Amino acid sequence: MERTILHLDLDTFFVSVERLVNTSLVGKPVIVGGMSDRGVVSTCSYEARRFGVHSAMPMRMARQLCSQAVFIRGDMELYSRYSRLLTDIIADRAPVYEKMSIDEHYLDLTGMDRFHDCQLWSHELRQKIIHETGLPISFGLSENKTVAKIATGQAKPNGELEVPIPYINSFLDPLSVQKIPMVGEKTYALLHSMGVEKIGTLSRLPPLAMERAMGKHGLD
């Protein structure tokens, strides 16, 4: 049986919650994280990202790149409350789900296509989440977690994307290997040094070559 995996990910979750509480933040560059110079960025709005700000960046650097941003320490209790609301909505409708983080879930919809159009079901669930939480959320739908998660990234912000099995290769091949979950800066630098920048190029490398270059991680 072909698997069907749905990946749901709230968009700039902390920022989106802050904008629900304070609508004056809508449209402005917003950065949430530790307020000291030693602090790091937890998340930031798309407006801040245009200045080069990103998650896990030192707050000092974020201030230099986007001094006009609104900086917020964050409220984990508030974010957790919205996260539980999201999970409750999913748990009420999904046959099997896995909560990966405060803002991210995987749903196994395998077999549901005998009774429902999985893309339509996923769309209706997403609309229900938006209606009941007020938060933007994106999803990717495909045959496994990796492709579904990459599809979600391509669907953002606040979108949805299904990648049917026959189209997986044509979807993945032109994308940067940086789109692959868990490919960080060091792994990307190594792959780049090997002449590998696109997922299509990576897919044509012999597994043995990847193992020699990166050990077990390369095989994975």
The residues annotated as belonging to the active site are: 104
> Strand order in 137-142's β-sheet?
97-101, 104-108, 5-10, 137-142, 160-162
CA-based nearest residue to 141, from 155, 157, 130: 155
What span, in angstroms and rounded, lies between the C-alpha atoms of 150 and 213?
24
CA-based nearest residue to 19, from 67, 65, 79, 61: 79
Longest CA span, the chain: 54
Written as six digits, the tokens of 170 are 């044509």
H/E element, 42: strand 41-44
- Please count the residues of the chain: 220
CB atoms within 10 A of CB 212: 10
17 vs 20, 88, 92, 102, 173, CA distance in Å? 5, 17, 22, 12, 35
